[in-house]
Structure 1
Amino acid sequence: MLLYVIRHGQTDYNLEGRLQGSRDIPLNDTGRGQATANGRALAAIGDLEFPLSQFDWVSSPLGRTRETMELVRQAAGLEPGGYRTDPLLIELSFGDWEGETLDEVAAHSRDLIEQREGGKWDFRPPGERAESYALLAKRIDTFLTTLAGPTICVAHGGVIRTLFNRIGKVPGDDAAMIDIPQDRVLKIKDDAIGWV
């Protein structure tokens, strides 16, 4: 396996500390700059093993990841639209909490915040579509079985946390707490995982 993963650039929800989840929130200007810089960084990696054009390029279908992907590809010297999307890569849903900050959630659901802090990996917020990291990890397990060759992926913080769990063997509750930057490229080769 050879997989490079980039988190989408910053959105206003990220800036405000809002639970974004599966809401389709666009990039802000900072996020666009991060995406462009990540494309340049990807093109500058000296040991890619394959030309960028030979990678399978895949993105979550949400707008912020698609825009990031197109800016990354353009900055790397490729045609912006030459990628596919996969719904398995959509960010985990925070259900009824999406759009709120954790402080706002704590104001009406302190007991649920305490449950979450006691075991974030398996915690599922309220709401019909809400997911835990454990549920998201099942989707990502399926996605990993679809990889047929070297891949470059644009996804979300939660998706990348599950990759640290699944490939890096980081325990679930620890993986759920990893800070995932929006201005770095993650390299996964076989069972090794780290930022480049």
Structure 2
Amino acid sequence: MKKLLLSLTLVSAVALTSCGGNTDTVATSDAQETANSTEGAVSYVADSTAVINWKGGKTFDDITKPEEGHWGVVKLKEGNVTANNGVLESGKFVADFATFESKDLDADPETKAKLDGHLKSADFLDVEKFSTASFEITGVKALEGGDYNTEISGNFDFRGVPKNITFKANVAVADDVITIKSEEFGINRKDFGITFTGGGGSIIKDEVLLQVDFSAKAN
């Protein structure tokens, strides 16, 4: 019996979000029973390229000022997935918030260090208290038509608050490698206890965008 934890930064995305496009914020519900793998399922272990991408942003009291935002990544601490006959069944992903960073500020190390430090503080990720986030798969549904072939549901445990969420992804199994690349989807940071509103005339957006990019090799 294996579980799939998907840290959806996760998480990491509790920060700001200058999001755009047609992305919807996913609904949350109570945590559910996790999915099992079946007899004969193949186990896959995440490689070093597996990350969660995040976007966050803020608006201003002065409506003449344009929105601002940041984007970055958080790496996985561990990740295990099972699949049977090319169909995703279960597994485990855990995001390591020590690796959380705002990649858009790579050219400005001083500003990047200041922002990342704040996002890792108790105002947002609270990394000292919650060093990881996880997503545990509760269901997998095949999709026909559209841009994605799979719907994945799971318990997203972020800052000690487990919520069940659902998102779409493209899952592919070839030779000894499985890849999972999700749509860009939004979570409401307040669902997970992040209530910091901003300051100095800025207003932190409630929505944070996440996108899973996962690759794993057969164990």
Same-fold call, TM cutoff 0.5: no
TM-score of the two chains, using structure 2 as the length reference: 0.27
Kindly indicate which of the two structures has a greater share of residues assigned to strand.
2
Larger radius of gyration: 2
